[in-house]
Structure 1
Amino acid sequence: MEILNTILNWFSQNILQNPAFFVGLLVLIGYALLKKPGHDIFAGFVKATVGYMILNVGAGGLVTTFRPILAALNFKFNIGAAVIDPYFGLAAANTKIQEMFPDFVKAATTALLIGFGVNILLVAFRKITKVRTLFITGHIMVQQAATISLMVLFLIPQLRNGYGITAIGVICGLYWAVSSNMTVEATQRLTGGGGFAIGHQQQFAIWFVDKVAGKLGKKEENLDNLKLPKFLSIFHDTVVASATLMLVFFGAILLVLGPDVMANKEVITSGAPFNPAKQDFYMYIIQTAFTFSVYLFVLMQGVRMFVTELTNAFQGISSKLLPGSFPAVDVAASYGFGSPNAVLSGFACGLIGQLITIVLLVVFKNPVLIITGFVPVFFDNAAIAVYADKRGGWKAAVILSFISGVLQVALGAACVALLDLAAYGGYHGNIDFEFPWLGFGYLFKSLGIIGYVLVCLFFLAIPQIQFAKAKDKEAYYRGEAQE
């Protein structure tokens, strides 16, 4: 028994509490089940582990670069600020869990495994559960598991025990399975039977858009008939888009704070304060803004390294164990099936909605300042425009992506306040994690475990309602769009 406890303690301390090696182990097991050659198994393990380590470097750099600006904002205006972006949110959630709940630093990583297992079971018993989709977008699962872990641990004190990690994993799996299942018909309609669903950050939004877009415009009047400025094409490049956004937002903030505050070592106690003897303040602004883009790029490179291996392992499992299921993939897979103008128009209209709402937050002196993040403003609103244009033309695409931008900022501020994340500089930011997850968060806070159970029952009921409304039950399982 003592030997077993020693082994378990070693495994817990060195693997479970070290997400990089835990993710690597998942890939190793997945490839082994697929009977891949030994050298491929080893290579997959290395890429996944090193990729997650690179992610940690990027996340740590984002936090280190942002904390001096947070300290300066609190000093000068007594307000907190948060970037609404899943990578900033990942760093903020992990940092807060590590500081407030050190016994649960492994929660998100273990929840990922449990949640994926729950998703598999729901699909395996799809004749009962009515769930047809397996969520395989690994990097998204990592981000969402971290945010959900923080929500559950912070808002439901009764689950800060041995049952907590299991509870987090269960609700992660329910969300992944059910929300992706909601996108099957809309995506089949968009792609002409492409055979996949969406497993990203805006599944509830895609379902809603598919239902209401036709009421806002005519699908014949689509974005293919509109001419958009060519200069917007530069925002197809992630580095250019993120660096530009960071320069605009952080540049404006640093200009308002001024060189005296940023050079005050009593205020800037972490990170790199401005040194007027060595650098011009305007160059300091550009360097700081671009540094965010650097760390975001590093983080995303790490994600790409490990998610490729993780996704391949998941796809292999789904093909061997769950034939006939729909893979739920990155939302970018849908872009090629819509209007070429939809992605850019969604980005532009969503950004306008965000900027207007940020100005209103400042005017009405909201205690939390929201800063635009690249991922939500681009991917959420581009996806909304693609699906809206298919059903309701350019009017629906413009209206719904603009509303999404407004909600991202307004509800993002509410989420930051609910989870007390202003001091950590980030929140998830994507539309699903502001609506409906904001509502789920308030249920957790108000009702505790009862609220958690109600949310789980809500998830389980959704596919049952979808199935009940389907006119052709067999077509439902085939994923055929039914008007």
Structure 2
Amino acid sequence: MDILLNILNWFSQNILQKPAFFVGLIVLIGYSLLKKPWHDVFAGFVKATVGYMILDVAAGGLVSTFRPILTALNYKFNIGAAVIDPYFGLTAANEKIASEFPEFIGIATSALLIGFFVNVLLVALRKITKVRTLFITGHIMVQQAATITLMVLLIPSVQKSPLMATLTIGVLCGLYWAVSSNLTVEPTQRLTNNGGFAIGHQQQFAIWFTDKIAPKLGKKEQNLDNIKLPTFLNIFHDTIVASATLMLIFFGVILFILGPDILSNSKVITSGNLYIPAKQSFFMFVIQTAFTFSVYLFILMQGVRMFVSELTNAFQGISNKLLPGSFPAVDVAASFGFGSPNAVLFGFVSGLIGQLITIVLLITFKSPILIITGFVPVFFDNAAIAVFADKRGGWKAALILSFISGIIQVSVGAIAVGLLSLSGGYHGNIDLAVPWVPFAYIFKHFEIFGYILVCLLFLLIPQLQYRRAKNKEAYYLGNSNN
């Protein structure tokens, strides 16, 4: 028994929680099942793993460039606020568990493993459950497991036993990962022209809602690619030029507000890519910081193209041999290369404006909880919403929905900080605002009955999806016409 536990623990820590190797392993298994030559199997494993590592480097660079700005703003204006960012949220949740529920430290990792196997089981029983997606974004699972743990611990009866807590949290995580990613199958197939994958990240419910509501808010023909610009503005159809210029304006204003004294203070800027080296011109530093954003965005796109291509091809082996009719649910950044190149930036700006307006309203109405925007929600959530919205309802839908997302992220994030009594931050991504904050209230007020109710809701959702499908057989193929 100890040997099995050690194997599972090794798998959880070294594979499941390391998405690059997890994706590489899936590609290796998939190509092996397709009986590819060993050298093709090896090459596919390398390209998928390295491609995901490239994506990780780019995503990490984007975050590390932006996050120190939050620290500097907090220092300059003496803001005591919670940051809506999954990494801040992960830290806040772990600290809360350690201080108030010390006997439950570490159960999120075990719950994560249980949740993954629950997801596999739901896909294996797809004819009954109607679930088609396997959530394989390991680092996201780690973040969500911690926050969901804190929410489930609002139920008094769950607090009586670490074993019961681990099982209840694991089952709930598995249901969420399977069901929420299942909602994105049709929207993602529409976006990617049947690309063979779904989204497994932090905004699956939002993507499903966007796909449904966007056609009512605008016309898909009026998308960002078809916007007619004055001749001199046509340069902004180039993603590199558009992103560099936009970030030069955005970061330039903020960095000049902060000033060189703060940005050269090693006691303030202790991490990230924002510290000004000695003797460098502040003006040139601002330009370099802005252009760095474009560099990481370009790198991210390259990584996406590498691993998505290998994963979708290799997953045919798993889909045909092990889990027929299944789709891999991958990082939302995989969708960025299939929509309008400028939709990513459009969503980022629209969502950021929505967030900033809501933060101003919190200050104006003297909210006891103040929120600071975090880069991960404002970029990844709102960029994804804009990409999917632009595909279905054009630029108007992209503008409206990413703006509303920004409002929800801040306002519901403030509610979550109060509900969970967190210090320093909350998860912040749109799915962890809606539906998870309402779920937390259900757990708090209806306790174990509320938990059962939420589990039943998750099981019901794919049944409703299947029932509404025009072609029942095509449902398992992810046919975007359903």
Normalising by structure 1, we get a TM-score of 0.72
Counterpart in 2 of 1:455? 454
When residues 482 and 30 of structure 1 are mapped into structure 2, their CA distance, relative to the original with a 3 A threshold, is closer
1:95 is matched with which residue?
Answer: 95
Match of 2:204 in 1: 203
Aligned to 2:381: 380
Aligned residue type for 1:205: A
Aligned amino acid, residue 456 of structure 2: L
RMSD (Å), alpha carbons = 4.9
* Residue type at the aligned position of 2:126: R
Whether the 8 Å CA contact 1:179–1:203 is kept in 2: the answer is yes
Equivalent position SS for 1:337:
coil
Query: Closer, same or farther in 2 for the Cα pair 1:345/1:447, shift >3 Å?
Result: same
From the superposition, tell whether residues 397 and 242 of structure 1 become closer, same or farther in structure 2 (CA, over 3 Å): closer
1:469 corresponds in structure 2 to: 468
**In 2 relative to 1, CA 447–250 (structure 1 residues): closer, same or farther, beyond 3 Å?**
farther
Aligned partner of residue 163 in structure 2, secondary structure:
coil
Question: Which residue does 1:217 correspond to in 2?
Answer: 218
Q: Deviations over 1:192-246 (max 9, x none)?
A: 21111111111111111111111111111111122687689579989x9999989
Aligned mates of 2:391, 2:70 — CA distance in 1: 42
Q: How does 1:77-116 map to 2 (within 5 A)?
A: 80-82=81-83, 84-116=84-116
State the AA in 2 paired with 1:108.
A
Query: Aligned letter for 1:128?
Result: I
Distance 1:199 1:248, change over 3 A: farther
Secondary structure in structure 2 of the residue aligned to 1:328: strand
Counterpart residue number, 2:173:
172
Residue 159 (1) aligns with residue 158 (2): yes
Cα deviation, 1:282-318, whole Å, max 9, x if unaligned, reads x9xx9xxx9xx9xxx9xxx9xx9xxx9xx98x96877
CA distance in 2, matches of 1:389, 1:237: 18
Give the Cα separation in 2 of the matches to 1:108 and 1:93: 11
Conserved 8 A contact 2:131-2:462: yes
Does the aligned pair in 1 maintain the 2:345–2:383 contact within 8 Å?
yes
The one-letter code matched in structure 1 to 2:158 is L
Determine the structure 2 residue equivalent to 1:148. 148
- Judge conservation of contact 2:82–2:426 (CA < 8 Å) in 1: no
1:157 Cα shift? 2.7
Cα distance, 1:363–1:195 mapped onto 2, change above 3 Å: same
What residue ranges of structure 2 are gaps of 5+ in the alignment? 272-277
Hey, what's the Cα distance between the residues in 2 that align with 1:139 and 1:409?
A: 23
Go from structure 1 to structure 2 and tell me whether the alpha carbon gap of 1:467 and 1:382 turns closer, same or farther (over 3 Å shift). same
Paired position in structure 1 for 2:396: 395
The answer to whether the 8 A contact 2:70-2:372 is kept is no
How far apart are residue 350 of structure 1 and its match?
0.9
| Structural mapping, 1:381-460, within 5 Å | 381-421=382-422, 423-424=423-424, 426-460=425-459
**Superposed, which structure 2 residues align to 1:125-274 within 5 Å?**
125-153=125-153, 155-160=154-159, 161-226=162-227
Distance 1:223 1:337 in 2: 13
Q: Is the 8 A contact 1:73 1:80 kept in 2?
A: no
Quickly say closer, same or farther: Cα 1:127–1:183, change in 2 above 3 A: same
**SS of equivalent to 1:368:** coil
237 and 167 in structure 1: CA distance in 2 versus 1, 3 angstrom threshold: farther
CA distance in 2: counterparts of 1:107 and 1:437, whole angstroms? 19
Contact 2:97–2:150 at 8 Å: present in 1 too? Answer: yes
Q: Distance in 2 between matches of 1:393 and 1:472?
A: 27
The amino acid across from 1:447 in the alignment is: F
Distance 1:69 1:166, change over 3 A: farther
1: CA distance, partners of 2:136 / 2:399: 30
Q: Give the aligned partner of residue 371 of structure 2.
A: 370
Compared CA separation, residues 414 and 33, structure 1 to 2 (3 A): same
Secondary structure of the 1:371 match is: strand
Q: 1:165 to 1:73 in 2, by over 3 A?
A: farther
Q: Supply the distance in 2 between the matched residues of 1:396 and 1:409 (Cα, whole angstroms).
A: 20
1:331 aligned to 2:332? yes
Separation in structure 1 between the aligned mates of residue 221 and residue 26 of structure 2, nearest angstrom: 46
- C-alpha contact (below 8 Å) 2:81/2:372 kept by paired residues: no
The answer to whether the 8 A contact 1:19-1:106 is kept is: no
C-alpha displacement of 1:341: 2.1
Residues 245, 372 of structure 1: 8 Å contact kept: no
8 Å CA contact 1:130–1:463 kept in 2: the answer is yes
Aligned residue type for 1:338: G
Normalised to the residue count of structure 2, the TM-score between the two structures is: 0.72
Q: Cα distance, 1:8 vs. partner?
A: 9.7
* Matching residue's letter, 2:148: I
Structure 1 moving runs of 4+ over 6 Å: 7-12, 26-37, 64-74, 227-232, 234-238, 240-252, 314-319
Percent identity over paired residues: 58
Q: Distance in 2 between matches of 1:245 and 1:213?
A: 27
Residues 212, 11 of structure 1: CA spacing in aligned structure 2 closer, same or farther, 3 A cutoff?
closer
Instruction: Please tell me whether the aligned partners of residues 242 and 374 of structure 1 are also in contact (alpha carbons under 8 angstroms).
Output: no
Q: Which amino acid aligns with 1:333?
A: A
Whether the 8 Å CA contact 2:86–2:429 is kept in 1: the answer is yes
Per-residue CA deviation, residues 350-408 of structure 1 (Å, 9 max, x unaligned), is 11111111111111111122111111111111111111111111111111111111111
What SS does the corresponding residue of 2:465 show, helix, strand or coil?
Answer: helix
What's the CA shift for 1:71? Answer: 10
CA-to-aligned-CA distance 1:400-442 (integer Å, 9 cap, x gap): 1111111111111111111111x23x21111111011111011
| Structure 1: stretches of 5+ with no match in the other structure | 273-278
Distance 1:409 1:91, change over 3 A: same
Which residue in the other structure is 2:323 paired with?
322
In structure 2, the residue corresponding to 1:99 is in which secondary structure? helix
Deviation of 1:80 (Å): 3.8
Compared with structure 1, are the counterparts of its residues 218 and 242 closer, same or farther at alpha carbon in structure 2 (3 Å cutoff)? closer
Structure 1 residue 353 corresponds to structure 2 residue 354: yes
Q: Partner of 2:337: helix, strand, or coil?
A: helix
Q: Which moved more, 1:356-365 or 1:224-233?
A: 224-233
Structure-1 separation of matches of 2:363 and 2:99: 30
For the structure 1 residues 468 and 324, does the alpha-carbon distance in structure 2 shift closer, same or farther, using more than 3 Å as the test?
closer
Task: Give the equivalent residue in structure 1 for 2:274.
Answer: none
- Write the deviation string for residues 166-214 of structure 1: whole angstroms up to 9, x where unpaired: 1111111101110111111111112221111111111111111111111
Aligned counterpart, 1:275: none
SS in 2 for 1:479: coil
1:183 touches 1:203 (CA, 8 Å); kept in 2? yes
Task: Indicate whether 1:117 and 2:117 are aligned.
Answer: yes
